[in-house]
Copies of this chain bind each other. A is one copy, B any other.
Amino acid sequence: MEELSKNRIKYIRQLSQKKFRKKEKRYIAEGAKIIEDLIDGKHPIEMIYASEEAYLQLQAKAKDNNIEIIAISEASIEKVSQLTTASNAIAVIPFKEQFFCIEELNHKIAIALDNIQDPGNLGTIIRIADWFGIDHILCSKDTVDVHNIKVIQATMGAIARVEVHYLDLEEVLPHAHDANIPVYGTFLEGENIYNEKLSSNGIIVMGNEGKGISPKIESLITNKITIPSFRQDKGSESLNVAMATSIICSEFKRR
């Protein structure tokens, strides 16, 4: 069992900063379960530091995939873990090259996120996408960073199976128009989603937690929809964006 060197501890800790991740093109995922999912998803893991227990769990799979794995002390893990309760394993992972071309959406659905700020919400939305077999999430450039450890952990491993792209939505959505791909967005005055004909392909845009979809993106929405509230009197003003995403994806996919 090894101890981590001071330099290595410093390096891993610095990966908690977005700026440093961008420079190094690497991020951290924690916990044997997520790391296993990432290996299964052929993510290019560079190195795994594991507690004795997690080492036994991950060792065979890591070796099969030529991934270096080292057992380190719990004390060393605690020094580098970004979680309140330290996990049992830490992986250093180079960014994966991902490609997205709009023609994929001739037969598929993608989710677009306009300035989602809460890491838990982004993580949960990735998990929802995974459940409903949605392969791509298109994030506006001001959306919270997917490689933030809180996002990675909130995906519960779904990050291994869903591709998350950072794009200028104002540039991308007109390409969807050109290709006759519908662009859906939720607005209070939209059509009732339960009665609306929903296509089997398209982009579903979800807006910022407080401000909703921004005016610039709104002008690029082709189909406005809404989830009606069942309260007659004054009730909830809005559903949380992750809950709304789960209901909308369920509506699109069940048909």
Interface residues of A (CB under 8 A from B): 40, 124, 127-128, 130-133, 156-158, 161, 194, 227, 229-232, 234-236, 239-240, 242-243, 246-247, 250-251, 253-254
Contact = CB atoms under 8 A, between A and B. Distances in A.
Contacts of A133: 229-232, 235
11 contacts: A40-B234, A124-B240, A127-B236, A127-B239, A130-B231, A130-B235, A131-B236, A194-B254, A242-B243, A246-B246, A247-B250
Contact of A161 (B124, B194, B235): B235
Contact of A250 (B132, B158, B236, B250): B250
A239 B249 CA distance: 13
B231 A161 contact: yes
A247 B234 CA distance: 22
Contacts of A158: 235-236
Copies of this protein in the complex: 2
Nearest to A157: B236
Contacts of A124: 240, 243
A219 to B, nearest CB: 28
Given A131-B239, A194-B254, 5 more contacts: A127-B236, A128-B239, A130-B235, A133-B232, A239-B246
A61 B236 CA distance: 19
A130 B231 CA distance: 7
A194 B132 CA distance: 13
Contacts of A128: 239, 243
Nearest to A246: B243
Most buried by B among A130, A243, A251: A243
A176 to B, nearest CB: 22
Contact of A246 (B127, B194, B247): B247
Contacts of A227: 250
Nearest to A193: B254
A212 to B, nearest CB: 16
